[in-house]
Amino acid sequence: MDFKFTEQEEAFRHEIREFITKELPSGWRGGLVEDEYSDEVWPFTQAIVRKLAARGWLTLAWPKEHGGQGRSTIEQLIYQEETSYHGVPGTDMGVGGVSWVGPCLMLFGSEQQKREHLPRIAAGESFWCTGYSEPDAGSDLASVRCRAIASGDDYIISGQKVWTSAAHVAGWCWLAARTDPDASRHRGISLLLVDMKSKGITIRPLIDLIGVCAFNEVFFDEVRTPKTNLVGEENQGWSYIMAALNFERGWPGIRFAALAKRILEDLVVYAMETKHQGYSLAGESALRHKLAEMAIEIEAGRLIAYRAAWLQGKGLVSESEASMSKLFSSELFQRVTDLGMQILGAYGQLSSDSKWAPLKGWILRTYLYSPSVTLVSGTSEIMRNIIAMRGLGLPRG
């Protein structure tokens, strides 16, 4: 078996790196969703998105008839790895536009929905948010209570969503709502496309540990959306949500592995340059061993992600492999940021506005961000359940 990349794949990686060197400011540190949609960075995010779209990279692996380039899943993963490592903002058009909204519309959407939304996503003109979680429905997504009642040619939506990333900048929402309250929990749920400018929508920002707004509460007060915005069949939304989640879990594995690699390299440089009691930190055997172990784990995370992408490219079901990738790399990301805080010691608590902050406070930001990565796209417990049942064939617990 040949584990090398092809000449075309290596050339593409080089092309991405040239773009990044040209377009990102010197010393740029990004890669956190919180940063991409903050007031300060949002205009830059939009500018970068337009440039990515002009090259056809936003929808690299989409079919050509839907505005993509029809490139391979491996090339798609190379793009995701490089942009994640370097912190290129806006690569998913809000949260989900490229990764699962577009692919699901290709599978389940009407011809009208495809014509309206797919070209605008590919062109970098349509940002999305995903309305799944509610105060009483997170991992137990079948408990959604947000209602959508049929009325003439519309649905009237009432309810609340929470932890809705990028809702404050999104133009559209991929919304899970209950259309049949008398059906069983996994039935009676529908997927709707909702214009975020619709009358009756209130967005309340949730300030996170880093001090910026990435998450939001979204309130729907008798919001009307036309029935033509129903995805697929009414009350069959659960199967579409599961498909969307499978698409969604394909990207965090390489994303968090790439971010972890960037953090590890920063820590290695810091250890080489920092003296402790006259000796370089890099000379302390315990620290050297921890950094070496982390390097091994990061490489394992990359290979798991590439295997999942390879299986997907072969048309094979990779639900458990995608869950393995997401689980391993998200927990790896937490471990590397925790190690970073241990290495930096008390100085690690200093924010970026302090002249004494090592690595410009980057380790602190990633450490505060890290608890969320084992929750997004499904908790670690959910990932382990999927691996156990779908990968190992174990019965439901």
Active site residues: 248
Indicate the burial class of 356 (C-beta count within 10 angstroms; 0-12, 13-18, 19 or more): exposed
CA dihedral of residues 86, 89, 91, 95 (deg, nearest 10): 130
Question: What H or E segment, with its residue span, contains residue 206?
Answer: strand 201-207
CA–CA separation, 113 and 86 (whole Å): 34
Residues 6+ apart with CB under 8 A from 350: 356, 357, 358, 361, 364
CA–CA separation, 283 and 181 (whole Å): 64
CA–CA separation, 337 and 343 (whole Å): 10
**HSE on the CB side for 109, CA within 13 Å?**
21
| Three-state DSSP class for residue 231 | strand
CA–CA separation, 123 and 131 (whole Å): 23
Orientation angle between helical segments 285-313 and 319-344, nearest 10 degrees: 160
CA–CA separation, 133 and 139 (whole Å): 8
Would you mind telling me the total number of residues written for the chain in this entry? 397
33 φ/ψ sector (left φ>0, alpha ψ -120 to 50, else beta): alpha
CA–CA separation, 110 and 237 (whole Å): 14
Residue type for 108, please?
Answer: F
Orientation angle between helical segments 73-86 and 7-23, nearest 10 degrees: 30
User: What is the sign of the dihedral through the CA atoms of 67, 72, 74 and 75?
Assistant: negative
Residue type for 145, please?
Answer: R
CA–CA separation, 124 and 83 (whole Å): 16
Indicate the burial class of 227 (C-beta count within 10 angstroms; 0-12, 13-18, 19 or more): middle
